[in-house]
Structure 1
């Protein structure tokens, strides 16, 4: 905070660009300060803490949109600006300065994080109204916003890493937020709180695996460029001053980082468990903050991947695998929040696929990230509204026919559903179809494989998202107003603080994609960062790709209607085939990770324990036992009787005579 007056003073004398960067520093400082105040004030802020958290979020949204408007009014060549705030430390030739970078890429994230984040804060005022630790919840939300803004506004990989760790910490605190056993059934509450705490630890630890990749990438940058600043590393990568081998190593290290943070294969297993946190947390993680960070890292590092084709192909392959894996998992889940989590995994896979296609896919990846942020927040908040009406139940098998009782939630979630399906003119159509089309561009087998996976993924997405929508709102009611294992259920619409954000998000889910796609507005906006890329011709005509995509989407939705709306749905899970059972268990990814990463370590520990017990301890204990036995044997000779000692002397004399005679003969 001490640097803020200095930054503002510098802004007043250094001109327009620095002024924008100084204002951007306020974006980070205000929610961070709000979080600190709420945590320091403690329970004294229970009556007003949520309003402070909301005010901080709304302030960042207004300021962020002001900066975006200011930069959008500049000439294209002036839209990239940096401001150094202070010198952090030096180590030999390595100098680390803290600064901010303002450009179309970072500002796109600023708009998404602050605007969607402020709507989630407003929703949370009502959603968390009865929680005794509401002010702590808002402190963590503010911390999440501040950390994500640090990540996207930092002008170096190390500043990005600070925000990267910040969102990891905030996610840990929020996923495990309900970690106390306070309920009518103490044992059940204790088990649930332990489950929530375990989910938070799982997310935290798996993200630390990804962090090792980012740290290794920075080490490689320091080794080759002697800097981690974007203005040094990225020009060096694009100019050819760093060898292809080193760029490939950096690219793979960065990919490991992105896989951990964005829940991509094989580090995706934490995302479903992250649903343990309150639903607004899920909306924030999946729509505006944490899981989008990996895509930002890939696109920001485009110059590195431009010089490392094999690493870039690996990004596309990982994205393709994940989009298909997440879609398959989403088909088998009955917990609506976990269906949406699998959906996020799959949609981020589309973005990673786009980022792995090179310059032609960078803008499309961010375009889909932006539209996805709005309709995924809408879907998660809609799920929270359903939970609010259904005594916190999440099992879709116990829903059905909620359309009449929750008209606003039904309509707004319906818009989000159509947007993620990619039905024109909804937002997802304009962004996801661009990635599918770009996947079919190239030579050889690559476009056929990647394009086909993206196409099939769209059809599966339509099936499982339609399954979710129909099981919740259509078909026959499978809930009861009588007290059952979940408690009495009386469906009703949520209050205005929860429905207003849904209505606002609906506007963007409906119209944002078309507005930004018109005249390639969004692609042109990002060109100062991503560069201009000629749009190559796909291996199939665009009309055929678009028609095939829509046909598969309609087919997927129709099959879901026939299975989950036109006929009765079982209220309990029924045994199914091997693929469905595997999908219900997240394709056994936890078991695979344990077999690869945990079991060998456990075996090593057991072997070390056995070695310590039977070899080291055995040798020490054996020597001690032998020494003690020898001592006891010698001790028996000290009897105290004169005749015994005389016998010893006689025996010794005889042995001495024998030895002398033996030497003579």
Structure 2
């Protein structure tokens, strides 16, 4: 079956083409086309993984372009890493497709939504299977295009359109770095093939300076896609897309692509200690930085968005401290519990029919039992509670930071782990415990920034569109028709079944790399790679990790469940810090002042120059030509006497010139 791995991305591509041409006729039945395609991809992925375990890497390529002694190939390759990634991507995509069947049911563009999902899944799977870095880059760009389409799916909302543009433009900055890195690699090796590049690095055919420069340029691409500081600003605004999109993009596909890129190019990074240090510190700063903002956000999806950025920072930190398996292990476990949390948030949003502010929620534990229990499992997993999946992968990251990093990196990782447990259970207690507030908050966003520097709303509206234009387009009842005080109830099986599946995986996924079983995943991922010994923590580190997670949960419990500590305690003690976090460190405003406005001003200057000077010269020439033509045109008026007079005068002028030239008047 491993020879047929090419079928995995083909199935969603076929679904995209079917929906592109026949989606208008299928309408809501389009969901079944998408679900069937991803189900087939998942089944083939499972078969490929089983064949790859204990087997060897399979590679099939054909020559695409040949010039001189160089040949560019296209094809597919199944390694240990991408065999794991195929399972993650297809499984999360499948449950998102199933969840969306009910979530997007009332949107009359549901066929367009599923066609975009199919194209997105095809792009990510193509990226994963790429046997060389050029093919990866092609699919990398296609993933960026699909994210633009999905984030801006409700394009008639100004916030969604602005968020889609922001995501597209911000990630392009990183993509330029990636492209430059590929050009340098090809210039040095004459190939885009992973094996050729790694052999050149190992044999010293590329000097150390170029290795560092190339690694950093490639890492810039990962910084953009995986929302690392300082290019993280696009991801929170991407919450303007439908919640299933958030689950897909921010759990297993687009943001995972950056981490996967570092993983697949890891031998290049290992060859440069400078690059590894930059990677490690970027990850640590991102993890801490995003976690602080998640502490104060009140939009349920934005809390999860900043959580995603923080967890991606953990993965990058692990990779930067030689924790190859730790980073990729967390990539896998995070995909499951973060998809669970996003879909759980979508289930809540769908049930309560109001804005996504957690201050308007509460009391859902007894009303939405499946959503509540599965969300709790996801929160425990991401907090790193034993024996859930997040505990095992996060403990390995801490071990990597401790053993191969330094005291600063380890301290940052511990503090971030504490904040993760705190803000996730702040979210859980505010949403699911207490009394259902049902939108009785007078002005839920009075103290929050409303619009960021790019024009996207800082506090997202509910995923169900609110304005009349969207109601007309998507057939969603207007907000005022909803009774915010009605009692929410559990959603249908299309929405709860994916939650149960993901919750089960959040419980058991960590078992694939248990230390007392010899770290099976580690053996699978590192077979045939010269990566050295992978870091493992002692028992005391696992206990410390649990104490940190428990402390964060306990503090959230005391503040948001028991009320022993006032919810605004820290806000009153440090209002300046609280406002700084609410305003996201004013980074959007800084970027607007430093980059956006000057760029717009320069563009307007050149536009005025083009209009006034360049167009002025062109228009002057055009008017002169036209005027000359009209002048000569008047002399060709068809009157014989005029032609005779002109001929006589012309003859006199010619004769006079002849006399002058011969010197008769000299």
Change (3 A) 1:536 1:410: closer
How far 1:490 sits from its partner (Å)?
2.9
Larger mean Cα displacement after TM superposition, 330-339 or 552-561 = 552-561
3-state SS, counterpart of residue 563 of structure 1: helix
Change (3 A) 1:24 1:536: closer
Q: How does 1:288-299 map to 2 (within 5 A)?
A: 288-299=252-263
**Paired residue for 1:20?**
2
Larger mean Cα displacement after TM superposition, 410-419 or 578-587 = 578-587
Change (3 A) 1:107 1:535: closer
CA distance in 2, matches of 1:604, 1:496: 54
**Paired residue for 2:271?**
307
**Paired residue for 2:26?**
45
Indicate whether 1:140 and 2:116 are aligned: yes
Change (3 A) 1:213 1:485: farther
TM-score (norm 2): 0.82
Change (3 A) 1:505 1:95: same
CA distance in 2, matches of 1:588, 1:40: 45
**Paired residue for 1:209?**
173
**Paired residue for 1:455?**
414
CA distance in 1, matches of 2:615, 2:440: 66
Change (3 A) 1:321 1:94: same
Alignment check: 8 A CA contact 2:324 2:534 kept: no
How far 1:544 sits from its partner (Å)?
3.6
Out of 538, 548, 552, which is 2:544 matched to? Answer: 548
Change (3 A) 1:549 1:276: same
CA distance in 1, matches of 2:483, 2:581: 29
How far 1:233 sits from its partner (Å)?
1.0
3-state SS, counterpart of residue 101 of structure 1: strand
3-state SS, counterpart of residue 355 of structure 1: helix
- Deviation string 1:11-69 (CA, Å, 9 cap, x unpaired) is xxxxxxxx623x11111111111101101224112142111111001000001001101
**Paired residue for 1:110?**
86
Out of 440, 462, 477, which is 2:402 matched to? Answer: 440
Which residues of structure 2 form unaligned runs of 5+? 442-478, 620-666
**Paired residue for 1:321?**
285
**Paired residue for 2:50?**
69
Indicate whether 1:277 and 2:277 are aligned: no
**Paired residue for 1:376?**
338
Larger mean Cα displacement after TM superposition, 341-350 or 114-123 = 114-123
**Paired residue for 2:370?**
408
Change (3 A) 1:31 1:514: same
3-state SS, counterpart of residue 562 of structure 2: coil
**Paired residue for 1:629?**
none
- Deviation string 1:156-178 (CA, Å, 9 cap, x unpaired) is 11110111112111111111111
How far 1:586 sits from its partner (Å)?
2.0
Change (3 A) 1:516 1:548: closer
How far 1:610 sits from its partner (Å)?
8.1
Larger mean Cα displacement after TM superposition, 562-571 or 499-508 = 562-571
**Paired residue for 2:562?**
566
Which residues of structure 1 form unaligned runs of 5+? 1-18, 181-192, 622-665
Q: How does 1:188-587 map to 2 (within 5 A)?
A: 193-358=157-322, 361-442=323-404, 446-479=405-438, 487-488=483-484, 489-517=486-514, 518-528=517-527, 530-535=529-534, 542-567=538-563, 577-587=575-585
**CA-atom RMSD, angstroms?**
2.7
How far 1:408 sits from its partner (Å)?
0.7
3-state SS, counterpart of residue 46 of structure 1: helix
Alignment check: 8 A CA contact 2:354 2:439 kept: no
CA distance in 2, matches of 1:529, 1:431: 22
Alignment check: 8 A CA contact 2:59 2:77 kept: yes
CA distance in 1, matches of 2:523, 2:617: 74
- Deviation string 1:580-620 (CA, Å, 9 cap, x unpaired) is 22222222221232233223324434665788899999999
CA distance in 1, matches of 2:378, 2:612: 63
CA distance in 2, matches of 1:228, 1:441: 34
CA distance in 2, matches of 1:145, 1:501: 17
- Deviation string 1:256-313 (CA, Å, 9 cap, x unpaired) is 1001000001100000011111111100011110000011111111111121110111
Change (3 A) 1:178 1:618: closer
- Deviation string 1:179-232 (CA, Å, 9 cap, x unpaired) is 23xxxxxxxxxxxx1111111111111111111011001110111001111121
- Deviation string 1:340-393 (CA, Å, 9 cap, x unpaired) is 0000000000000111112xx011101000000110111011001101111043
CA distance in 1, matches of 2:219, 2:575: 34
**Paired residue for 1:186?**
none
Change (3 A) 1:529 1:147: farther
How far 1:478 sits from its partner (Å)?
1.8
Alignment check: 8 A CA contact 1:156 1:229 kept: yes
How far 1:450 sits from its partner (Å)?
0.7
3-state SS, counterpart of residue 166 of structure 1: helix
CA distance in 1, matches of 2:171, 2:125: 19
CA distance in 2, matches of 1:288, 1:516: 19
CA distance in 2, matches of 1:615, 1:97: 48
Alignment check: 8 A CA contact 1:426 1:513 kept: yes
Change (3 A) 1:409 1:216: same
CA distance in 1, matches of 2:309, 2:339: 14
**Paired residue for 1:162?**
138
CA distance in 2, matches of 1:335, 1:276: 11
Change (3 A) 1:83 1:71: same
Change (3 A) 1:29 1:611: closer
